[in-house]
Amino acid sequence: MRLVFAGTPEVALPTLRSLAEQHDIVAVLTRTPAPVGRKRVLEPSPVARLASELGIELIESDRPDAEVTERIRALQPELGVVVAYGALLRRDLLDAPEHGWINLHFSQLPSYRGAAPLQRMIIDGHQRVAMSVFQLAEQLDAGPVFTSRSSVLGDDETADEALARLSHEGVELVSTTVAGIASGTAEATPQLGGVSFAPKLAREDGRLDFSQDGSAVLARFKGVTSEPGAFAETADGVVKILSMTAAEPELETDAAVGLAQVVRKRVLVQTRSGVLELLRVQPAGKSAMDAGAWLRGRGGSAQFSVSGQSGVGA
């Protein structure tokens, strides 16, 4: 088939590579170069770089307008495929390909429509994650679904790791759907059930509150890692939490909620219910380091602020 592909981050690359091997991709639509790093140097998206390597016509736009639509329509694509493009497509662009557009979405629709479905699913404590391939419509993630699949989340699997895994597993779902549309055998069914939404994560979503149950704190950590990133506060400032896991049951303590201390050579933090083990952190203004090294530099303990408190230090 003659395809147009829309995507931006790393998670879109496996599908783009696979489709390029099987079909004629006439153009790739991606977002414009974004500032990266401390120097805020503009860099093309991962999808833009791959499209250039593959010799595919590249269209960079954050909000596809009439000019972009006409450029795509002139290429006469039969189908559009979206994986994490990062912007809504207007009605005229949706109608440009003969068979419209399909989208790989990382949830079991109609649950978790929006920009951060997998992350929000993990934050909410789900042990199973999912993805769906559906027909794009003007309403947000509301089109009929061709196929879906779910899988069990690994014990310490973060959102980044789950997205990387599903980005490869989703290739088969997209490829099968494209083949079905080409042969006229693909069938999409309307979404059924309760609708929920998953808005884009903001920095504040990464704040950890150790006054919650340990399972809830750990779920939030996994859901926001690595973007926007997990953090907690002490009297000395913000500490980014880079790696964390549930502590072994025999390491339970009777410490105050939010207190980090060394127990049997492990850096443990007491929550409302249960104990978490810090593995790697990054204090404000410093490089990432082993959690034990950080705590030794603070005299062996640190008090994280909890709900109703601010900047409490040990």
Q: Mean pLDDT, consecutive 10-residue segments, the chain of 314 residues? A: 97 98 97 82 95 97 96 98 95 97 97 97 96 95 96 94 96 97 97 96 97 96 96 94 88 80 90 94 94 91 79 40
54 annotated to a ligand binding site: no
Q: Which of 183, 217, 232 delimits the end of a domain?
A: 183
Residues 164 and 213 in one domain: no
d(CA 197, CA 313): 37
Residues 34 and 125 in one domain: yes
Q: Is residue 190 part of a domain?
A: no
Residues 149 and 220 in one domain: no
pLDDT at residue 71, as a whole number: 97
Q: Which residue has the tokens 């303590």?
A: 253
Q: Is residue 198 part of a domain?
A: no
Give a three-class secondary structure readout of the chain: CEEEEEECCHHHHHHHHHHHHHCEEEEEEECCCEEECCCCEEECCHHHHHHHHHCCCEEECCCCCHHHHHHHHHCCCCEEEEECCCCCCCHHHHCCCCCCEEEEECCCCCCCECCCHHHHHHHCCCCEEEEEEEECCCCCCCCCEEEEEEEECCCCCCHHHHHHHHHHHHHHHHHHHHHHHHHCCCCCECCCCCCCECCCCCHHHHECCCCCEHHHHHHHHHHHCCCCCEEEEECCEEEEEEEEEECCHHHCCCCCCCEEEEECCEEEEECCECEEEEEEEEECCCCCEEHHHHHHCCCCEEECCCCCCCCCCC
pLDDT at residue 235, as a whole number: 87
Q: Is residue 153 part of a domain?
A: yes
107 annotated to a ligand binding site: yes
Q: Which residue has the tokens 């947000």?
A: 140
Contacting residues for 180 by C-beta, under 8 A, at least 6 apart: 146, 186, 187
Q: Which of 183, 217, 248 delimits the end of a domain?
A: 183
Question: Among 224, 11, 199, which residue's Cα sits nearest to residue 123?
Answer: 224
Residues 208 and 153 in one domain: no
Residues 39 and 163 in one domain: yes
Residues 126 and 207 in one domain: no
Residues 178 and 237 in one domain: no
Residues 25 and 85 in one domain: yes
46 annotated to a ligand binding site: no
110 annotated to a ligand binding site: yes
- The whole domain housing 92 covers 2-183
Residues 241 and 164 in one domain: no
pLDDT at residue 250, as a whole number: 62
Q: Is residue 197 part of a domain?
A: no
pLDDT at residue 314, as a whole number: 35
Q: Is the dihedral of CA 128, 82, 77, 145 positive or negative?
A: positive
Q: Is residue 173 part of a domain?
A: yes
pLDDT at residue 37, as a whole number: 72
| Bridge partners, residue 129, by sequence | 151
Number of domains in the chain: 2
Question: Among 48, 45, 90, which residue's Cα sits nearest to residue 72?
Answer: 90
